[in-house]
Amino acid sequence: MSFFRRWLGGAASAHYRDGMRAFDAGDYERALVGFERALAAGAPRGDPLTHLAHFYAAEAAVHLGRTALRRGAPAEALRWFEPALRGQAVSPALLELAAVAYIETGGHDAGLACLQSLLAVDPGRCPAHLLAAVACHGSGAAAAALEHLRAARQSAGSQSLPDVVYRCLEARALRFPDLAALLRDFVPSPQSSGV
């Protein structure tokens, strides 16, 4: 069977096309279903359709999880992130957002595992170091938290904080005054921000 016939015909490609139409329309939940169906239809492993379906399924999960985090629903975000973390297309954004969701639900160790994977490929990523400091603080590893804050200070000039990361840091700083003192260079104190 030719590449184009395989690409344009069959159940896997029909589900993939449905997923792409939904993705392009911003209907990420329906898109994710389409990509999962494309993968379940059994395209050969080396088929580009399989690679694309994995990639777009993970991207749809990132969009869905980010939306849940913005609504203040980290447990719901993990419902989208956890299957994607077990998939073949784990992106830096997925790792960072999943870490936020884990930290916000008290899963400091799981959050730190995501951040360690992220920092292995992007060691100068300031938001990841800040989140790792928060996760280490939550686990009682003060020395490791300070090490991540030092790394964040070295890389902070070139990176801004995504909104969900900033809100996570701000919420943790409000709950833990000792952590607020450590994060003061990155998150304004409640007194200076009018909170």
Domains and CATH numbers, the chain: 1-90 (1.25.40), 92-195 (1.25.40.10)
pLDDT score at 31: 97
pTM of the model: 0.86
pLDDT score at 9: 52
CA distance 170 to 12: 44
DSSP E strands, 91-135: none
Residue whose pair of structure tokens reads 């409000």 in the numeric block: 174
CA distance 106 to 139: 9
Contact partners, residue 5, CB within 8 Å, separation at least 6: none
Is residue 102 within 8 Å of residue 78, measured between CB atoms?
yes
Name which of 129, 121, 136 is nearest 152 in CA terms.
Answer: 129
Per-residue pLDDT of the chain (195 residues; tens, 9 = 90+): 445 444 445 778 899 999 999 999 999 999 999 999 999 987 776 788 888 999 999 999 999 999 999 999 999 999 999 999 999 999 999 999 999 999 999 999 999 999 999 999 999 999 999 999 999 999 999 999 999 999 998 886 556 789 999 999 999 999 999 888 888 877 754 444 433
pLDDT (tens digit per residue) in 124-157: 999 999 999 999 999 999 999 999 999 998 886 5
Cβ count within 10 A of residue 46: 7
Distance spanning both ends of the chain, measured CA to CA: 64
Look up residue 157 and give its DSSP letter: G
